[in-house]
Structure 1
Amino acid sequence: MMSRSQRVTRQRRRRLLRTITVALVAIVVVIVVLVWRGSATSTDAPVGHDPTSAVPSPTPTSNETPAPDEPQDAGACSVTLSAEGITDQTTTHENGALFSPLPQPVRDDVVFAGWYQTELAAEGLDRSQRVGLATRVACEDGALTLHGAWLSSDEVTDAAVGVPVLMYHQFTDQPEGIDDPLRLNWAYAGDVDDHMRYLAENDFYLPSWEELDAFIDGALYLPPESVIVTDDDAHASWFDLAVPIVNRYEILSTSFVITKWRDEPTPSPYVLQRSHTHDMHEAGANGEGRMVNWSPEEIAADLETSAAILGAKEVVAYPFGHYDERTKEGMRLAGFELGLTIEPGRVYAGADKLALPRVRIDYGMDVDALAALVG
């Protein structure tokens, strides 16, 4: 028979065992509940919620949405150039890419008026169908034919076309502009977007520098609705704010690069990079630009350096717009054909190729102001 103390000890052990058992059961229950809730959270949607709405749409790949510099249809395209009075020529271009420069035929009695995508467009001089450096190659079965047009010299003279060369500088996303001594140099990106959309929607023709050269010589007709878009300095804001806009509207443009400061390749197939000199965007001994301080030989050497970096000559935008006869001689020595000043005006046939005017774009010019300038 157990003593009283033994019975007490045994009762205490039983109570401890029951306590431990209850605690273990409670822990197991908690674990089960947590596991169940986690599973419900990961697989079950709340009442009234469509679980598919939480799934994001897949990000488009470059194949689905090609960038401007990525041809949509790779492969060679054989392009036949057909125009009255000349033998058909065949050139090869990359399908889906922008056209490379096309030859400009010459006849004694008439003026060439461009290449067009259809014979009917050529007959009507439909500028929306005129082929230039901003036109994408689109051919079926690896071949297409472009049709040339001609005008009489009198018709071209009577048209009296003047081509505006727009001059932008820096760009800002601030509608109120920049607090800067050169405030007028800063174009608001919203206005620039309106400008480029206006040019695109109204089918302005975007001639190359080679075409402008021939136009000045009277060897090429350009429609009245022609315009050249340029940027001076290749400022960081050009790359950040303006290049996406010219890409969006497929506007051929030219960025004049100071190659001492930048030597990167072009950011877009719609952007031609041309010379703003290598190291002459500085003041010379008389306080004006080096372009009117250095000797013609020094100017030519600088321009040769710039051309080697850019891989092109063609045209120079004079720093600060400064130029004189020594500037022109340096340009000739280096083999450049065209020089741009900051003097206001349009480019007409017969213009001085080494002293071409431009149309300045100032801060605050909206699309109506642009329409007045280019119209």
Structure 2
Amino acid sequence: MIICAVVLLGGGAAGVFAWTAAAREPAVPRAEAGAIEHPPLSPVQRLLRDADDPLACAVSFTGDGAPAEPMLQHQDALYQDLPIPSQDGRVFGGWYPTAESAAAFDQTARVNGADAVVCQDQQVQLYGAWMTPEQNVAENAQIPILMYHQFTAKPEGESGWLRGNYAYIGDFDAQMSHIASSGFYMPTWDELSAFIDGRLYLPAHSVIITDDDADQSWFDLAVPVIDKYKLLSTSFMITAYRQDPPPSIYVQRRSHTHDMHQAGDNGKGRMVNWTADQIAADLNTSGDILGVRQVMAYPYGHYNDTAKQGVAQAGYEMARTIEPGLVTIGTDKLALPVVRIDYGMTVDALIKRIG
């Protein structure tokens, strides 16, 4: 008669031993009968094995509050959803490629969702930095959100009542060249939100680029410039009118509502005519189409407390107005101001507004 027993080995492994009724000596464990034992995989190795993708990249984090586990990214895309650690009495200073650049808060080296993923052997290490709230306030960062609309290849501009909305593409190219060559930091929307809360440090030399309406001239004229300079931008899209996929890895699609870019009963936008429930329903439709909520832009810039309620009800954290101004710590997230770009605005005029 053979009797079998399962015995737990080190590390939780199980070995199966056999005894005969006549002899109680254990047989050789099956694990030793020709099987080759391998050392356990590291978290990075497991992540890459499970991804089974040559473009996969395992991002590991070092520093106080850093995630213990690596994060999967892809080398044909920008970084997505990098963590923003939070600690009482401290302000997170961002992720950097070396401990030295982290200690120096080197904004030219800082890594975020505006950067393409570049890995060596499918791995990269990022280092976190921290500062005091006093240091963060002393930076006095005031973040401009640039607002563009349509674009034209005519230096003399377009005719008609929307003439001011059109940026000459030559001016736009010069403006983007200035931003790309001047070391501006390009915050993501989740970073802007954490900055407003006082949880995240943003350099004073930062800028966000946005376009309203996703006009065809944005796709035809502006996006090639965005691609050329590799600048993160946001296209606020009216999803009832078009639902084009992102035209570039550097273009984020966000909501300009689904179908509220129309006049309501009092001649102003539907955003200030509809109930909070109606607004939320429209924005939910738009968010489902785009696959993201996070931030929206008010059509015509019209909004009120009911509009803000509907935006929040639909799960959007932020909303952008057309009111002039700069984003600072403590800015109302549902009333973000902008720097409007009009026809005839040269790069020198832009420099006077944003540096």
Q: Same fold (TM over 0.5)?
A: yes
* TM-score normalized with structure 2 length: 0.83
Contact kept in structure 2, 1:82 and 1:89, CA below 8 Å = no
Q: For the residues of structure 1 that align with 2:99 and 2:316, how far apart are their CA atoms?
A: 35
The counterpart of 1:320, out of the listed 290, 300, 306, is: 300
2:237 aligns with 257
Other-structure match for 1:349? 329
Are 1:218 and 2:198 matched, yes or no?
A: yes
For 2:66 and 2:294, locate their aligned partners in 1 and report how far apart those are by CA, in whole Å.
27
Cα deviation code 1:103-128 (max 9, x no counterpart): 01111121001001122111111111
Tell me the SS of whatever aligns to 2:57.
strand
Question: In 2, are the aligned partners of 1:74 and 1:96 still within 8 Å (CA)?
Answer: no
Any gaps of 5 or more consecutive residues in structure 2? 1-52
**Which amino acid counterpart does residue 341 of structure 2 have in structure 1?**
I
Residue 236 of structure 2 contacts residue 297 of structure 2 at CA under 8 Å; is this kept in 1? yes
Q: Deviations over 1:178-232 (max 9, x none)?
A: 1121211100001111111111111211111111111110110000111100000
Counterpart CA distance in 1 for 2:289 and 2:124 is 35
Is residue 236 of structure 2 the alignment partner of residue 236 of structure 1?
no
- 1:257-296 map, 5 Å: 257-296=237-276
Aligned to 1:374: 354
Deviation string, structure 1 residues 304-337 (Cα, Å, up to 9, x no partner): 0111111110111000000001101111211111
| 1:90 Cα offset (Å) | 1.2
**How many angstroms apart in 1 are the aligned matches of 2:90 and 2:322?**
33
Equivalent residue for 1:4? Answer: none
What's the counterpart of residue 13 of structure 1?
none
Q: Tell me how far apart the structure 2 counterparts of residues 244 and 254 of structure 1 sit (CA, whole Å).
A: 14
- SS of 1:167 mapped into structure 2: strand
Give 1:324's aligned amino acid: N
Q: Name which of 65, 83, 101 aligns with 2:63.
A: 83
* TM-aligned CA deviation for residue 96 of structure 1: 4.2
The 8 Å contact of residues 317 and 339 in structure 1, kept in 2 or not, is answered as: yes
Aligned pairs, how many?
303
Counterpart residue number, 1:310: 290
Q: Which of 87, 97, 111 pairs up with 2:91?
A: 111
Cα distance in 2, alignment partners of residues 158 and 327 from structure 1: 34
Displacement after TM superposition at 1:300 (Å)? 0.5
Q: Given the alignment, which residue of 183, 199, 208 partners 2:188?
A: 208
C-alpha RMSD of matched pairs (Å): 1.3
- What one-letter code is carried by the residue in structure 2 that aligns with 1:226? S
Q: Does 1:149 align with 2:151?
A: no
Instruction: Supply the distance in 2 between the matched residues of 1:284 and 1:374 (Cα, whole angstroms).
Output: 35
Contact 1:74 1:94 in 2 (8 A): no
Higher helix share: 1
SS at 2:344's partner residue?
A: coil
SS in 1 for 2:108: helix
Which of 244, 262, 280 matches 1:300? 280
- In the aligned structure 2, how far is the partner of 1:245 from the partner of 1:281? 27
CA distance in 2 between counterparts of 1:99 and 1:74 reads 16
* Distance (Å, rounded) in 1 between the aligned partners of 2:315 and 2:322: 21
Rate the CA distance shift 1:298–1:127 in 2: closer, same or farther, 3 A: same
Q: Which residue of 2 aligns with 1:8?
A: none
Tell me which of 119, 124, 148 is aligned to 1:168: 148
Sequence identity percentage: 53
Distance 2:245 2:121 in 1: 33
Residues 138-178 of structure 1 show CA distances to partners (whole Å, capped at 9, x for unaligned) of 12122111111111100111112110000000000111111
Q: In structure 2, what is the equivalent of residue 33 of structure 1?
A: none
